[in-house]
Structure 1
Amino acid sequence: MIEQSLDAALNSIINVISGCVITLLITMYRQKKKQNDALKVGLQALLRDRIIQAYNHYVQDRGWIPIYAKESIDACYRSYEALGDNGVIDNLMQQINELQNYPPKNRGEEDA
């Protein structure tokens, strides 16, 4: 009779501990997922900002883009695209990709 009581008590303790461990693991998973989601959103924002800065500098200001800069922006875009959202960035990248990779001749001068 005492053995049965000890077995029942031990089973109850094991069930409580198991429940606590499972709850702890689920809580840790949710916290880690929340952190990963925040990192993803933050990285997307940084990549988006970098691509927009490059667009403003090379498309709107200079009218051309050096090869090394284009490769760097392409790498940013691939990472940005792998993280999910695209939206307006696709259009900006299309315009960046259409730029020549050398400065135009007679920049600022009118053709004669």
Structure 2
Amino acid sequence: MTEQIVSHAINLLLGGVVSYIFALYRQKKKENDALKAGLQALLRDRIIQAYNHYVQDKGWIPIYALESINACYKSYEALGENGVINGLMEQLNDLPNYEPHQKG
């Protein structure tokens, strides 16, 4: 009888530990998903800002800026998102790396 009580107590204890570990895992996954989504949003915003500034306003992009945006894009893509950003990156990469001379 004592063995049965000890056995049940151990089973309850192990079940509680497993449940606790599973709850911690779910919480950490939820936090990681939120961090991933936040980082994706920041990278997407930075790429869109660069697109607006260099493609729409200036018509050219310095090499250092293009390298920085391409690094952002690599991270963004590694996080599993791309969508419309692919097209923006193509346009950014097609820009000249120097300011066009004004004629006139």
TM-score scaled by length of structure 2: 0.97
For the pair shown, which has the larger CA radius of gyration, 1 or 2?
Answer: 1
Measured against aligned partners, the alpha-carbon deviations of 1:37-60 in whole angstroms (never above 9, x if no partner) come to 011111000000000000000001
Q: Are residues 1:94 and 2:90 paired? A: yes
After TM superposition, where is structure 1 displaced by more than 6 Å over at least 4 residues in a row?
A: none
Residue 57 of structure 1: aligned partner: 53
TM-score scaled by length of structure 1: 0.90
Residue 23 of structure 2: aligned partner: 27
Residue 18 of structure 1: aligned partner: 14
Equivalent residues, number: 104
Taking the aligned partners of 1:85 and 1:102, their CA distance within structure 2 comes to: 30
CA RMSD after TM alignment: 0.8
Gaps of 5+ in 1: none
Aligned counterpart for 2:43 among listed residues 28, 40, 47: 47
Using the TM superposition, give the Cα deviation of residue 28 of structure 1 relative to its aligned residue in structure 2, in angstroms.
0.4
Local SS of the residue matching 2:35: helix
